Chain A
Amino acid sequence: MSPKTLYDKIWDAHLVDTTEDGTSLLYIDRHLVHEVTSPQAFEGLRMSGRDVHAPDKTIAVPDHNVPTTPDRVNGIENEESRIQVDALDKNARDFGINYYPVDDIRQGIVHIVGPEQGWTLPGMTVVCGDSHTATHGAFGALAHGIGTSEVEHVLATQTLIQTKSKNMKVEITGKLHPGVTAKDITLSVIGRTGTAGGTGHVIEYCGEAIRDLSMEGRMTVCNMAIEGGARAGLIAPDETTFEYIKGRPHAPKGAQWEAALAWWKTLYSDDDAHWDKVITLDAGEIAPVVTWGTSPEDVLPITATVPAPEDFSGGKVDAVRRALEYMGLKPGMKLTDIEIDTVFIGSCTNGRIEDLRAVAEIVKGKKVKDGMRAMIVPGSGLVRAQAEEEGLADIFLEAGFEWRLAGCSMCLAMNPDQLSPGERCAATSNRNFEGRQGRGGRTHLLSPAMAAAAAITGRLTDVREVM
């Protein structure tokens, strides 16, 4: 048998049908659904008289629109948001799919809830009408975002029409220095490859620094595979993965666990598998990084200075000129001199318990800089509960952070949490696009530890100086 990559193996295990031109029908094991990209798909089912093919493999949770302030128990004030969440409630009920409503403690960001509840398992195919579905690749599951037409297609058939992507290997050798995290790895990779560097590929992340990461860290890395343009990111499952999964509500139990484990242990890329593209980074050379522009590829170590348009070539020259104007930055200024108005900690990239622990470690006994808005939005109700149990919430409140309920919140600002024009935010989320966090808002992406440091000093800060 010819050697295969992990992607090849998962692909082959889910192939329902292939036509001569390579167009394939792939079986989908898990379909995650949220309120923004699904209403038109359910409407389509109703109009054509179709049913959900596999409701037991379909999991829905509202996350994008939900307010994260305590008053949400009184309902959602914004009418359009309320209608969308109500539509999901009704669709979940009508079609009999698994559902975590807003008032369920298990509610949260769909990409945090899935793994937390044990829905996401190695070797699965996982899709969701959301580009950050890439997150689930951390388990060695082939997971990617789809559009609403494809959501309808999966609801109706439990399959997806696909053409196979190419294989790309991203190896992170060696060990990370203190203060450098999974977020710095994933941003640094995008800084190297560019936001189109992974286009047409599925990335497998490997190497010592990836193996050393917890599941939370691995999810952060895979989450941003999409920002590198890749269809999906993958990390081969290992003991860390199995330990995380064991005992979760929807993980296999007993004899099924043993059978699953035996198969999961075969899920790795063979030694002589073919790679279409290979990128290698030395973990020891990765520094804490921040973004300075309006594309996730605009990444630099915190010790650097703002670049000039002339430092680039091609279409990027104009793009950088536009980005610097939008961001209100001048070439040559030190990144650590950039003052921040707001700190947002949360999102499917960095809203898990480990992220909150990293923040607590930095801010314990310290205060958020006067006049700054600083909020922490846990990724799920269970993350929130755990943070309270571990005493992290007390540390945050003591330091002056707002301690919110679970949701996507200011990552994409569909709920009331938005930036005002010109407001500058240090964010642990995944996109720094123009207007992403609010019209005219300015976003700097960074790790939770770096965001915590910025909250204390009021400017972009090298976390290694406050550790």
Chain B
Amino acid sequence: MDKFTKITGVAAPLPLINVDTDMIIPKQFLKTIKRSGLGVNLFDEMRYQDDGSENPDFVLNKPAYRSAEILIAGDNFGCGSSREHAPWAIKDFGIRCVIAPSFADIFFNNCFKNGILPITLPQEQIDMLMKDAEKGENARMTVDLEAQTVTTSDGETFPFEVDAFKKHCLLEGLDDIALTLEKAPAIQSFEAQAAVSRPWV
């Protein structure tokens, strides 16, 4: 997995609540058997018009935000389906960090597996970040995972919380499966015990 340490980049404002994973990547793009190449279809239905041309009003189509690395969004971001295609599309587009007042559970977990940092901040701070992001490409924010801070273009800094284990994995770019396989003896002993206590499983 790609490491996440510190990024400084353009933040795109997406002031919508309940952005669901169907919106992030519609189902017609779930037919792939690969993880890559989904960035072009990120937010497909909002980003493109019926004839396939770009919708100039959509934030990621505006010149200032075409290379955004951070996304500022509303409450309950990533709700709905468990499709990991959502974080794959976000990452493939080039966004490495999503900041919102709250996230849906499965999407939140999926981000960490893909080197994306989801940050939860109170609504008042999101409002300030949203304003900062609306300034366009001159407003570059900095997200520092080690220090657990988001810094606006004006130098205002907001601390954020992150699960210690997830932080460690992101900073080091660790593979979960390899970590778990180190615990193979514990898994085997659990299985031996379960074979006695719950043999029907």
The answer to whether B194 has its CB under 8 Å from any CB of chain A is: yes
Bitwise interface map of A from 56 to 79 toward B, beta carbon under 8 Å scored 1, else 0 = 010000001100000000000010
The answer to whether B156 has its CB under 8 Å from any CB of chain A is: no
Complex Cα–Cα for A149 and B177 (A) = 9
Residues of B within 8 A of A148 (CB): 35, 84
Complex Cα–Cα for A129 and B17 (A) = 24
Please tell me if the beta carbons of B102 and A40 are within 8 angstroms of each other in the complex: no
Q: How far is the CB of A72 from chain B (nearest CB, A)?
A: 16
Q: Which residue of B lies closest to A229 (CB)?
A: B104
Please tell me if the beta carbons of B33 and A413 are within 8 angstroms of each other in the complex: no
Number of interface residues of A (CB under 8 A): 77
Which of B32, B45, B79, B84 touches A229 (beta carbons < 8 Å)? B79
Which of A87, A257, A263, A315 touches B74 (beta carbons < 8 Å)? A315
Please tell me if the beta carbons of B106 and A153 are within 8 angstroms of each other in the complex: no
Bitwise interface map of A from 152 to 170 toward B, beta carbon under 8 Å scored 1, else 0 = 1100111101010000000
The answer to whether B20 has its CB under 8 Å from any CB of chain A is: yes
Considering the complex, which residues of chain A in the window 99-134 have a beta carbon less than 8 Å from any beta carbon of chain B? Answer: 121, 123-124, 129-131
- Number of inter-chain CB pairs below 8 Å: 179
Q: How far is the CB of A29 from chain B (nearest CB, A)?
A: 5
Please tell me if the beta carbons of B76 and A27 are within 8 angstroms of each other in the complex: no
Considering the complex, which residues of chain A in the window 161-203 have a beta carbon less than 8 Å from any beta carbon of chain B? Answer: 161, 163, 195-196, 199-200
Residues of A within 8 A of B17 (CB): 314-316, 318-319
Q: Which residue of B lies closest to A431 (CB)?
A: B80
SS class, residues of chain B in contact with chain A: loop
Which of A27, A48, A147 touches B113 (beta carbons < 8 Å)? A147
Q: How far is the CB of A238 from chain B (nearest CB, A)?
A: 19
Bitwise interface map of A from 2 to 41 toward B, beta carbon under 8 Å scored 1, else 0 = 0000000000010011010101010101000000110110
The answer to whether B51 has its CB under 8 Å from any CB of chain A is: no
Bitwise interface map of B from 177 to 189 toward A, beta carbon under 8 Å scored 1, else 0 = 1001101101100
Complex Cα–Cα for A196 and B105 (A) = 10
Known contacts A21-B163, A196-B102: A414-B16 contact under CB 8 Å: no
Complex Cα–Cα for A314 and B165 (A) = 34
Please tell me if the beta carbons of A147 and B106 are within 8 angstroms of each other in the complex: yes
Please tell me if the beta carbons of B76 and A229 are within 8 angstroms of each other in the complex: yes
Which of B35, B45, B74, B105 touches A200 (beta carbons < 8 Å)? B105
Which of A25, A84, A153 touches B33 (beta carbons < 8 Å)? A84
The answer to whether B201 has its CB under 8 Å from any CB of chain A is: yes
Residues of A within 8 A of B75 (CB): 196, 315
The answer to whether A391 has its CB under 8 Å from any CB of chain B is: no
Please tell me if the beta carbons of B84 and A37 are within 8 angstroms of each other in the complex: yes
Q: Which residue of B lies closest to A256 (CB)?
A: B200
Please tell me if the beta carbons of B201 and A121 are within 8 angstroms of each other in the complex: yes
Looking at chain B, what size class is its interface with the partner chain?
35 or more
Bitwise interface map of B from 16 to 55 toward A, beta carbon under 8 Å scored 1, else 0 = 1110101100111011111100000000010000100000
The answer to whether A281 has its CB under 8 Å from any CB of chain B is: no
Residues of B within 8 A of A284 (CB): none
Known contacts A21-B165, A147-B82, A150-B113: A80-B31 contact under CB 8 Å: yes
Which of A80, A316, A431, A439 touches B32 (beta carbons < 8 Å)? A80
Known contacts A295-B18, A319-B16: A131-B84 contact under CB 8 Å: no
Sample of 7 further A-B pairs with CB below 8 A, known A16-B186, A161-B165: A27-B191, A40-B35, A83-B31, A83-B33, A147-B113, A259-B200, A318-B17
Give the interface of A toward B (CB within 8 A): 13, 16-17, 19, 21, 23, 25, 27, 29, 36-37, 39-40, 43, 48, 50, 57, 64-65, 78, 80-81, 83-84, 87, 121, 123-124, 129-131, 144-150, 152-153, 156-159, 161, 163, 195-196, 199-200, 226, 229-231, 252, 256-257, 259-260, 263, 295, 314-316, 318-319, 322, 412-414, 421, 431, 433-436, 439
Could you name 19 residue pairs across A and B whose Cβ atoms are closer than 8 Å? A17-B183, A25-B187, A39-B33, A81-B31, A83-B31, A84-B31, A121-B201, A145-B82, A147-B82, A149-B84, A150-B113, A153-B180, A195-B76, A196-B18, A229-B79, A319-B18, A421-B50, A433-B80, A434-B22
